[in-house]
Amino acid sequence: MIVTGAFLADYARRADDKLDVLGAVWDWCVLPDLTHSLEAYLVVLLQRGPDDLGVPGEMRVSVSDTVSDEPVHTAVLPVSGTLDGEQQAVAFPIALRCRTTGRHVIRIAMREGDPGFTFSLDVRTLR
């Protein structure tokens, strides 16, 4: 299984083997200040191969900022549901505490050593 795309959205849900998304593809967000969490839906597009049949999947998600090279957040998320087709989309509600403004990089990999898929988000504050 490989990640072919990912983005943040205001809302996402799976229904009838389809994905409904509202307010998608964030490039930046504004928080009142850094004491507030960033709340969004992480949407991930996946492509399955023949070797993925019957194998439960999981994604490794990490978020890094400009303060250090070490991830600020890490999580392992399950890929579940009906996996009948080659293309699949999954969505997870997330809440992140940001320790700084500026560029944050989200990396999603399917296994150790997988270069994965990355995208960035510019975090801004009102104060």
Contact 56, 48 (CB under 8 A): no
10: which 2 tokens?
């205001």
Q: Find the mean pLDDT for residues 75-98.
A: 82
Cα four-point dihedral sign 80, 74, 92, 22: negative
pTM for this one? 0.88
**Residue 109 CB-density burial (10 A; 0-12 exposed, 13-18 middle, 19+ buried):** middle
Distance CA 124, CA 17 (A): 35
Cα four-point dihedral sign 57, 89, 21, 125: positive
Contact 41, 93 (CB under 8 A): yes
15-69 per-position pLDDT tens digit: 887 899 999 999 999 999 999 999 999 999 988 877 766 666 788 999 999 898 8
Class of domain 2-125: mainly beta
